[in-house]
Structure 1
Amino acid sequence: MEKRIPTNIITGFLGVGKTTTILNLLKNKPDNEKWGVLVNEFGEIGIDGAILTEQGAQIKEVPGGCMCCTAGVPMSVGINALLRTKPDRLLIEPTGLGHPKKVVATLISPQYEKYVDLKATIALVDPRNLSNTKYTENQNFNDQLDTADVVIGSKVDQCTVADIDAFNDWITDQAPAKTFSKLIKHGELPLEVLDNVRLHGSASSQIEDHHHEHAEMEPQFQLPPGQTYIRKENSGQGYKSCGWLFGPEVEFNFDDLFSMLSDLTAERVKGVINTDQGCFTFNKANGVLSVNNLSLQGFESRLEVIDSQLLPWDQLEKVLIKLADIE
Structure 2
Amino acid sequence: MAALTTRVPCNILTGPLGAGKSTAILKLLQTRGDGNWAVLVNEMGDVGIDGVIAGSGGAATAEVSGGCICCANGVAVRVALTRLLKKRPTRLLIEPSGLGHVAELSEHLQKEPLSNALELRAVACVVPCDRHSLLWAEAPLYRDMVHASDLLILNRRDVDAGMTSDVDNWARELYPPKTILLADRGACSTDWVDAPRDAITIEQEHAPGAEEDDEYRPKRTFTHIDGSKRTESHGGGKAYVGVIFGKLGAPFEADRLESACATACAFDGAERFKGVFYVRTRGWVLVQWVRNGGPADTQILSRAADSRFQLILCGDEPAPVAAG
Which residue number corresponds to residue 308 of structure 2? 302
TM-score by length of 1: 0.85
Mapped to 2, the partners of 1:137 and 1:206 lie a distance apart of: 12
* Pairing 1:255–2:260 present: no
CA distance in 2, matches of 1:44, 1:51: 16
| 1:22 equivalent in structure 2 | 25
Letter in 2 for 1:283: Q
- Secondary structure at the residue paired with 1:85? coil
In the alignment, residue 197 of structure 2 is paired with which amino acid?
R
Q: Shift in Å at residue 55 of structure 1?
A: 1.7
> Given that residues 12 and 122 in structure 2 are in contact (C-alpha distance below 8 angstroms), is that contact kept between their aligned partners in structure 1?
yes
Q: Which runs of 4+ in 1 moved over 6 A?
A: 203-208, 222-227
Maintained 8 Å contact 2:234/2:317: no
Which residues of 2 match residues 28-107 of structure 1 at below 5 A? Answer: 28-31=31-34, 33-70=35-72, 72-107=74-109
Determine the C-alpha separation between the residues in 2 that align with 1:60 and 1:37: 7
Q: Where in structure 2 are the equivalents of 1:220-235 lying within 5 Å?
A: 228-235=227-234
Is the contact between residue 276 and residue 308 of structure 2 (CA under 8 Å) also seen in structure 1? Answer: yes
CA contact (8 A) 1:279 1:293 kept: yes
TM-fit CA distance, 1:151? 0.9
Which residue identity is paired with 2:241? C
Q: Secondary structure at the match of 1:128?
A: coil
Hey, what's the Cα distance between the residues in 2 that align with 1:294 and 1:184? 19
Q: Quote the RMSD (CA, aligned, Å).
A: 2.6
Residues 1-327 of structure 1: pairs in structure 2 closer than 5 A: 1-31=4-34, 33-70=35-72, 72-132=74-134, 134-161=135-162, 163-178=163-178, 180-202=179-201, 211-215=213-217, 228-251=227-250, 252-263=252-263, 264-265=265-266, 266-277=270-281, 278-285=283-290, 286-296=293-303, 299-309=305-315, 313-314=319-320, 316-317=321-322, 320-321=323-324
Q: Deviations over 1:242-288 (max 9, x none)?
A: 11111111223331111221343232111112343333221123132
CA distance in 2, matches of 1:205, 1:307: 25
In structure 2, do the counterparts of structure 1 residues 127 and 256 end up closer, same or farther at CA, with 3 Å as the change threshold?
same
Unaligned runs of 5+ in 1: 217-221, 322-327
Which residue identity is paired with 2:142? Answer: F
Change (3 A) 1:231 1:153: same
* Identical residues among aligned pairs (%): 31
Change (3 A) 1:48 1:27: same
Shift of 1:225: 11
TM-score with structure 2 setting the length: 0.86
Go from structure 1 to structure 2 and tell me whether the alpha carbon gap of 1:295 and 1:171 turns closer, same or farther (over 3 Å shift).
closer
Structure 2: unaligned runs, 5 residues or longer:
none
Distance in 2 (CA, whole Å) between partners of 1:233 and 1:47 is 15
Would the aligned equivalents of 2:222 and 2:230 in 1 still touch at CA under 8 Å? no
